[in-house]
Amino acid sequence: MRYIFPKILKPTNVHLLLNSLETAFNLEQKLIPNIKIDLGKVKKTSLLGILLNYKFVEYTYKHYCFKNPEMIVNDYVQAQWERYGFTDLIHLFIENKDQTEKGYKKLKVKVDDRFIIAPQALLRSRDYSDKFLKTEFLPKIENYYKSNEKVVAMIFLCLSEILLNFWEHAIDDSNSILVAEGNKNNIEIACADTGNGIISTLNSVFFNKSYDKPVILRKAVEKNITSKKMTNHMGYGLWILNQITTKTHGRFHIYSEGAYFKNEFGKEIVDNCGYWKGTIIYLSLPLNKPITLSDIENHDSTKFNNIKINWK
Amino acid sequence: MENINLNKYGPIISRKESGNEILELINNSLSNNTQIQIDLNKIKSMATFCAKQIFGNLYLKLGSEKFFERIEILNASDDLKTIIKIGIQNAVNEHNND
């Protein structure tokens, strides 16, 4: 049996990739022999494509889906693993050494004049993630975009909501990886896990209604939709990301458990797609007209103005 | 007046654990001081969850007048002000609908 990655691994055709990978998520502990993970035909990829490549390898190895699978890769794919910092991590799995935490610690933020590439493992209960975020990841992004404070504010707002979301829904320490790549005109942020997906967590909210999966994803980006009512969760995170995407004419994709939501330059689409256990979020924002929360939320409303705060 | 500087949590506050720590810090300070200052100088952004967790909880606990009298918030950007207001508004709405 062969899991074939498509020639082009761009955000526009992630659903094709998910279609070809979905059966693996039913093979936990099955140790199926004679499996080939075939990336031999990949000619073009992106940070999202490489992230999903890594997460698929990680999931299938950690859950003993295959017995000694053969991975077929070409020079281009190997160069892309190197570019995005995943070479060591993938090799740890191929060599059957589950030392991912060591590998995660080798992830480095790369910056040059034209690009910043920042991979980050989200290890919830370790100091490592918080320290790396504060000392490497966020300062380098801030420094790269220092000429435009509003760009930094927009990126940090998005990262705050994405990080919170993935940290809160992670089921163990090794499930979420965040990657960001940007230049002066655009930034892409992608995060993927193989934990509890948005569809499963939101199903509890709609327990008395029989929504199909794409409808649940469309509802997930509405304001005040949260799986955790009466807690500090507000259901604002995905709504904020979607609003920023629409106003900047960017792209925002969510893939979870057999469905997707896409906001492509302001046009929203939902549909079914191949199953992915967990959630994938992809955000691509042009930076020429940055938008922040004060541009979105209507704070002239009477209710808002009734809240008196002693700002100094 | 005690000044609580949140620099060490910056540049973004996006973890429930950090929110809990900050809330505890503020509550401890409020139990020993009539007025306190919370300095957000190095905070660039905050998840709306954390805004509700920290400021929403304080607002409900103290009530609107005491919240205004006892807590000064320093160096908040316009965005942080909006995030904090959203957090408080959501906590108040939820409390009123309970």
**CATH number of the domain bearing residue A256:** 3.30.565.10
pLDDT recorded at residue A119: 79
Q: Cβ of B12 under 8 Å from any chain A Cβ?
A: yes
* Domain identity same for A179 and A243: yes
- Residue A269 confidence (pLDDT): 96
pLDDT band for position A295 (cuts 50, 70, 90): confident
Q: Report the pLDDT value the prediction gives residue A257, as an integer from 0 to 100.
A: 94
* Res A13: pLDDT: 92
Question: Quick check: B35 pLDDT over 90?
Answer: yes
Residues with Cβ < 8 Å from A302, sequence gap 6 or more?
none
Least confident of A1-15, A30-44, A156-170: A156-170
B30 touches chain A (CB under 8 A): no
Residues A212 and A78 in one domain: no
pLDDT for the residue A4 = 95
Q: How many domains does chain A have?
A: 2
* SS3 state of residue A176: strand
Domain limit, last residue, from A87, A103, A119 = A103
Query: How close is the nearest chain A Cα to the Cα of B55, in Å?
Result: 10
Of B12, B15, B49, the CB nearest to A159: B12
The pLDDT value recorded for residue A7 is: 95
Residue A173 and residue A81 in one domain = no
CA distance A118 to A162: 15
pLDDT at A72 over 60: yes
Residue A64 has pLDDT above 80, yes or no: yes
Q: What pLDDT does residue B43 have? A: 95
Q: Is the pLDDT of residue A99 over 90?
A: no
Residue A85: pLDDT band with limits 50, 70, 90? confident
- In the structure, what pLDDT confidence band is assigned to residue A91 with cuts at 50, 70 and 90? confident
Same domain for A99 and A180, yes or no, is no
Domain end (from A57, A85, A103): A103
Q: Name the phi and psi angles at A85, rounded to 5.
A: 85, 20
d(CA B61, CA B67): 9
Residues A170 and A153 in one domain: yes
Same domain, A78 and A135: no
Name the minimum distance, in Å, from the CA of B22 to any CA of chain A.
14
Cβ-in-10-Å burial (0-12, 13-18, 19+) of A163 comes to buried
Average pLDDT over residues A172-177: 66
Task: State the pLDDT confidence band at A133, using cuts at 50, 70 and 90.
Answer: confident
Percent of chain A's residues with pLDDT above 90: 55
Question: Is-contact B47 A164, C-beta < 8 A?
Answer: yes
Determine whether the interchain pair B69/A153 forms a contact, defined as Cβ–Cβ distance below 8 Å: no
Over residues A1-25, mean pLDDT: 94
- The pLDDT value given to residue A108: 77
Rounded Cα–Cα distance for residues A79 and A2 (Å): 22
CA distance B35 to chain A (A): 11
* Mean pLDDT of all residues in A287-292: 94
- Of A256, A192, A190, A199, give the one whose Cα is nearest residue A227: A199
Identify which has the larger pLDDT, A115 or B33. Answer: B33
User: Which of A266, A263, A262 lies closest to A249, judged by CA?
Assistant: A266
B42/A contact by beta carbon, under 8 A: no
Lowest mean per-residue pLDDT among A68-77, A93-102, B4-13: A93-102
pLDDT higher than 70, residue B34: yes
Cα separation of A259 and A266, whole Å?
19
CATH number of the domain residue A41 falls in = 3.30.750
Least confident of A31-35, A101-105, A244-248: A101-105
Confidence of residue A225 (pLDDT cuts 50, 70, 90): low
Counted residue by residue, chain B has a size of 98
pLDDT digits 0-9 by tens, B7-16: 999 899 998 8
Per the CB < 8 Å rule, is B48 touching A294? no
Q: Which of residues 56-85 of B touch A (CB under 8 A)?
A: 56-57, 59, 64, 67-69, 71-79, 81-85
Whether residues A138 and A62 share a domain: the answer is no
Q: Are A38 and A6 in contact (CB under 8 A)?
A: no
Rg (CA), chain B: 12
pTM of the model: 0.91
- B59 pLDDT more than 90: yes
Each residue's pLDDT tens digit, A178-203: 899 999 999 999 999 988 888 888 87
Given strand B36-39, what is the order of strands in its sheet? A310-311, B71-74, B36-39, B2-5
Is A234's CB within 8 Å of B49's CB?
Answer: yes
Give the nearest chain B residue to A139 (CA atoms).
B11
**Last residue within a domain, chosen from A103, A129, A145:** A103
Same structural domain, A291 and A276: yes
Banded model confidence at residue A298, pLDDT cuts 50, 70, 90? low
Indicate if A38 and A178 belong to the same structural domain.
Answer: no
Range of the domain at A309: 107-312
Across the interface, whether the CB atoms of A139 and B87 are under 8 A apart is answered no
Give the model's pLDDT for residue A23.
96
pLDDT band at A211; cut points 50, 70, 90? confident
Assess whether A35 and A117 both reside in one domain: no
For residues A249 and A283, state if they share a domain. Answer: yes
Question: Average pLDDT in the A70-75 region?
Answer: 94
Q: Are residues A241 and A275 in the same domain?
A: yes
Query: How far does the CA of residue A310 sit from the closest CA of chain B (Å)?
Result: 5
Do you find a cis peptide bond into B11, omega within 30 degrees of 0?
A: yes
**Which position has the higher pLDDT, A130 or A185?**
A185
Mean pLDDT of A265-290: 96
Question: Which H/E stretch holds residue B43?
Answer: none
Give the mean model confidence (pLDDT) for residues A32-53: 95
Q: What is the pLDDT of residue A303?
A: 63
Query: Minimal CA–CA distance to B18: which of B6, B30, B7, B9?
Result: B9
Mean pLDDT of A144-165: 92
What average pLDDT does the segment A113-136 reach?
73
